[in-house]
Structures are given as C-alpha cells and as structure tokens.
Amino acid sequence: MSQASGPLYDPSGPVPAPGGARRSNSGAVTGLVLFAGVMMVVSGVIGIFQGVVALAKDDVYLTTPNYTFAFSLTSWGWIHLLVGIVLAAVGFGMLTGAAWARVVGIALVSLHLVLNFLFLPYYPLWSLIAIAIDAFVVWALCTYRS
C-alpha cells in the first residue's frame, strides 16, 4: 500500500469490501464508466457548440426577463465554451484511464449540472437532458473502484 495515498487506497488491487473481503469492479461498472467518459466528451463538444452559438448568434436562445441568475448570452456563451473544452479534455482523460480524471470529472460534471440548471430558462429541453446525463455520469464515476 502506498502511504502517500492513504490507508484505504491500494492501487495494486481491488478495493476492500466492508468486513475485509476484497472485491473488484464488475464488467457492467467498467462499461458504465467507459460510457460516462464518452458522455463527458459528447457533452463537452455540445457545450462548445452551445458556446459558439451563443457568442455568434444571440437570437437562437430565449431571453427571460426578471430571471434571478440572468447573464448576458455572451457571458453564457463563454461559460459554455470554456466548460465544454475542459469537460471534453477530462472525458478524454477518462477514456485513457487516468486516475485524476475520475475525481476531476466528478467535480466538473457536478459544476456542469449546476450550470445547466441555471441555463434552464434559456434552453429548457436541452438543459433537462444535460442535467439527466450529468447526474448519470456523476453516479457512474462514483460507483467505480480503481
């Protein structure tokens, strides 16, 4: 066991189950994490497109008066563009099996979920779909044991 990474994490083997037994990931869990990585890449690319559309053509999105979390569509464009680029990069890291990508992915996808919630009045249908995908990705990344 590596002392730097803490007593509960052993990178050389499966994670201990409650009671001391060793267990590893099933094929389904590994497949879900792979699917979560693909969904992160796709979500990132779509976020890039959303950002470009908001920056280039403001009249595509609905503007809502008196919305508490109102930003200009240019601001939303930059937010979606930057988060999309980072999300796609972390998704590629997940697909390569990088250990850092899982932790960063959980945090970044959670942020993306909140941003889509705040973006709900501008593009409701896609925001709801993105929230559902992000919730699944966070769940899949949290159930994986390295």
Q: What's residue 1's pLDDT? A: 45
pLDDT of residue 122: 81
Question: 121 in a domain, yes or no?
Answer: yes
Residue 92 lies in a domain: yes
Q: Please tell me the predicted confidence (pLDDT) of residue 18.
A: 56
Q: Would residue 85 count as lying in a domain?
A: yes
In a domain, 114, yes or no: yes
- Look at residue 92 in the predicted model and tell me its pLDDT: 92
Residue-number span of the structural domain to which 49 is assigned: 26-143
Does residue 21 lie within any of the structural domains? no
In order along its 146 residues, the chain shows pLDDT tens digits of 444 544 443 444 555 555 555 555 555 556 788 888 899 999 999 999 988 988 887 666 766 677 766 677 788 889 999 999 999 999 999 888 888 888 899 999 999 999 999 888 888 888 899 999 999 999 988 886 66
Q: Which two tokens stand for residue 23?
A: 């267990």
Residue 2: inside a domain = no
Distances (CA, A) of 85 to 41, 49, 56, 67, 92: 9, 10, 17, 27, 11
Q: Virtual CA dihedral for 82, 108, 136, 88, nearest 10 degrees?
A: 40
Crossing angle, helix 27-56 and helix 124-143, to 10 degrees?
150
For the entire predicted model, the pTM comes to 0.73
Look at residue 47 and tell me if it is in a domain: yes
* Residue 20 is assigned to a structural domain of this protein: no
pLDDT at 58: 67
pLDDT of residue 31: 79
pLDDT score of 5: 47
Chain Cα centroid distance, residue 66: 29
State how many domains the chain has: 1
